[in-house]
Amino acid sequence: MATSRIADSVGRVLGDRYRLLRPIGVGASAHVFSAEDVQLRRRVAVKVLHPALAGEEAFLRRFRRESQAVASLRHPNILRVYDWGEDHGSPFLVMELLEGGSLRSMLDRDALLSPAQAAAVGADVARALDYAHRQGIVHRDIKPANLIFDEEGRVSVADFGLARALAEATWTEPAGAVMGTARYASPELVRGEQLDSKADVYSLALVLIEAVTGQVPFVADTPFGTLMARVGRPLEVPDAVGPLQAVIEAAGAADPAVRTDARALARALDEVSARLPFPAPLSLAPPDPAELVERDDQDPTEFPGRPRLFDAEAANPDPDPDPRQPTGAKLFDGEEGVDGPRPDGRSKLFDGAQWEDPGAGPAGDRVSSTRPGPGLGLGPAVGGGTAPAWPDPVVVPARPRRRLRRVVLAVLLAVLLAAAGGSAWALTTGFFTPNETVPVLAGRTPADASAILGRLHLHLRVTAHAYSPTVGAGRVLTQASAPGTHLEQGRTVAVVVSDGPRPVPVPPLAGVPVAVAQQDLKNLGLTWTVNQASSMTVPAGSVISSTPGSGTLVPGQSVALVVSTGKPQVTVPAVAVQTETYDQAAADLTKAGLVVARTDSYEDSIANGLVVSVTPPPGATVTIGSTVNLVVSKGPHYVAVPDVRGDSVGAASEKLGSLGFNVAGVQGNPVNTVTGTSPAGGTQALYGAQITIVTG
């Protein structure tokens, strides 16, 4: 049997450190064992890959690289990878040990999820995918077999990086494993496109549909047919998923460009969860080592347990059965007198033993026979013929005294058996045990509930913890025995204790407009406070920072938001006009965070280099980085009076006017030629001064 081949590895120590204890999963490319880390003395899971992969250099390179990358992931919903190595040609991974089984094993045992359960599980998986995607890691093989639960029902995503490593190996998994992967593949796979994080989201959408309905959409007879059925077609989400329908449709869009990402999917599933009743505990399906069968059509990480059609070993465990033997089990197979039927068709078991029937034969006689007594369960004669006739009974004369003694003993034995049975019945059914009325325990602490039950001679047992939006953490949420029912003293009342509201992830809010940030927090059931501060980089009305900025909070808890008012405001410093030089004023303005612009101007009454005016004026409030304009004096504007002698009065007036002078009048005959000016030509006069023209 394949189970024995797997069991042969039990006790083996890999890498001089990991002792294999028992098998917990088996597939085409790997076997998974519960193991002990003999150095750290802790239980771990060890995935031993197929020895054929040891010779694949491309696979080993990718396997080492992906193992190192996955080992760096730290997320509560990602299966931890502790170590990796090779032992005698077998690559292996050392992982966190979770013993609650996989989603695949639950579905194979017809344990479907309610929409509330699927929303909670899907949100945790989406958060894990979002975290991995932000680290640049894509899973590529999201399916129920890779969603593993611990004993409390917390889900973890397994086999990050393994699918990519296997893709580079020339060793090929059997067609059944390929079909299992194609069932959850995105349509871009058949188009030959590069798979990115959106492919994981599509696969998760298919998994959620199967988790609720038991059916995967678009599954054809072949892997290629399955993939082709998804190309260009929107995901058909059945009504059975209820309020999850719109969320899954967005996650299952055929075009990756419009498909939602993992973060948005997690947020949408959390919003749906908040509107649904609190989910019941999951019906976990831990792996049963007795069910492990090595098959080529299993997924490498699949927990076994589901029935398989056309399984040669299960359907016909004995490849060459003896047609003479019955189909049932052989009693004492191999012992003398049991190996086969007698020639007359009777079993050799108890051959020759006699049994008596006091009710057969003439009155007072007993019948003796060599045939087996009733109730031995040997069945009809085998070998294909009709049942042989039994020999005629032999009549033996009766012995009255012995018979009477037997009757008396039989009656006494019956009375004793009845008394013993009655006592056993009374003890096992609690007939003589007082009953107590089960009190209301919901809302109480386990200590208080235990004390109350103790006074009634009942016991308390906490079987699980669950989140509740209404019952505080550390208090009884539900009880298995309803209040008012009656239990015998000494019995146990099982309860589920609340962990309070389900923690929600704090979204990154830096740079987000404050209205959008507040809406995101409101959708998660969180509150907020707002403080304002200026920022040189964050525009007014957007979040500068949030505290806490990451992690999780319980609904009702608060996030402190710091919102930008824009760049800070400053006051234009004082400038002594007509007294302070430009260099002094510019230094003060620059120190205040302002930009200085200079304009020069001739000023008759202000010395060169002194500030004439400031705009905006000193004392005004402006945004830091604003520009302040300084008008700086160039001193009086002197211009040389031109020599206009020999010019006509008209020509001289035009020259003087072009230089900014004003002609005050003409001294002499205006028709005559100009003989001079006052002030005289060549002297310096203020711009705009009055000039008198002199003629001969």
Condensed to tens digits (0 to 9), the pLDDT of residues 441-491 reads 999 999 999 999 999 999 999 989 988 888 888 999 999 888 988 988 889
- Band (5; pLDDT cuts 50, 70, 90): low
Measure the CA–CA gap between 688 and 242, rounded to whole angstroms.
91
What per-residue confidence (pLDDT) applies to 287? Answer: 77
Give the separation between CA 512 and CA 522, rounded to whole angstroms. 15
One DSSP character per residue, 452-469 reads HHHHTT-EEEEEEEE--S
Distance CA 117, CA 282 (A): 7
| Range scoring the smallest mean pLDDT among 74-78, 377-381, 611-615 | 377-381
Which residues lie below 8 Å from residue 606, measured CB to CB, with a gap of 6+?
Answer: 578, 612, 633, 635
Mean pLDDT, range 50-71, rounded to an integer: 75
What is the tens place of the pLDDT at every residue in 355-406? Answer: 333 334 433 344 333 334 333 333 333 333 333 333 444 444 444 555 566 6
Average pLDDT of the residues in 513-533: 93
Contact predicate 598/630, CB 8 Å: yes
In tens, the pLDDT along 563-612 reads 999 999 999 999 999 899 999 999 999 999 999 999 999 988 899 999 99
What are the helix (H) ranges across 325-445? Answer: 400-429
Please state the pTM of the whole predicted model: 0.45
DSSP code for 51: G
pLDDT tens sequence across 159-182: 886 766 665 554 444 444 444 457
The span from the CA of 279 to the CA of 262, in Å, is 22
Stated as kind and residue range, the H or E segment containing 665 is strand 662-667
Query: In this predicted structure, which of 162-171, 184-193, 643-652 has the lowest mean pLDDT?
Result: 162-171
251, containing H or E segment: helix 245-251
Q: How confident is the model at residue 127 (pLDDT cuts 50, 70, 90)?
A: very high
Distance between CA atoms of residues 162 and 177, nearest Å: 14
Structure tokens, 92: 């292996």
Report the distance separating Cα 481 and Cα 457, nearest Å. Answer: 15
Q: Which two tokens stand for residue 525?
A: 């059931």
Q: What's the rounded Cα separation, in Å, for the pair 527 and 553?
A: 10
pLDDT (0 to 100) of residue 221: 62
> Any idea which residues carry the catalytic annotation?
141
At 430, list the tokens: 């609690």
Is the pLDDT assigned to residue 126 strictly greater than 90? yes
Q: Which domains does the chain have, with CATH numbers?
A: 2-291 (1.10.510.10), 435-498 (3.30.10.20), 504-564 (3.30.10.20), 569-633 (3.30.10.20), 638-695 (3.30.10.20)
Average pLDDT over residues 639-647: 92
Please compute the mean of the pLDDT values over residues 254-272 and round it to a whole number. 93
Q: Is the per-residue pLDDT at 211 higher than 90?
A: yes
Radius of gyration of the chain (CA): 48
Q: What are phi and psi of 532, to 5 degrees?
A: -110, 150
- For helices 197-213 and 262-275, the axis angle rounded to 10 degrees is 30
Spatial CB neighbours of 111, under 8 Å, sequence gap ≥ 6? 282, 283, 285
| Integer angstrom CA distances of residue 565 from 115, 533, 620 | 44, 6, 19
CA-to-CA separations, 353 to 350, 368, 383, in angstroms, rounded:
5, 10, 23
Q: Which long-range contacts (CB under 8 A, 24 or more apart) does 410-418 make?
A: none
**Separation between Cα atoms, residue 504 and residue 520, nearest integer Å:** 12
Query: Which range is least confidently modeled, 218-227, 264-273, 609-618?
Result: 218-227
Average pLDDT over residues 36-48: 93
Residue pair 466/278 in contact (Cβ under 8 Å)? The answer is: yes
| Segment 264-319, tens digit of pLDDT | 999 999 999 999 988 999 999 887 665 554 443 344 333 333 333 223 333 333 43
Distance of CA 497 to the CA centre of its chain: 24
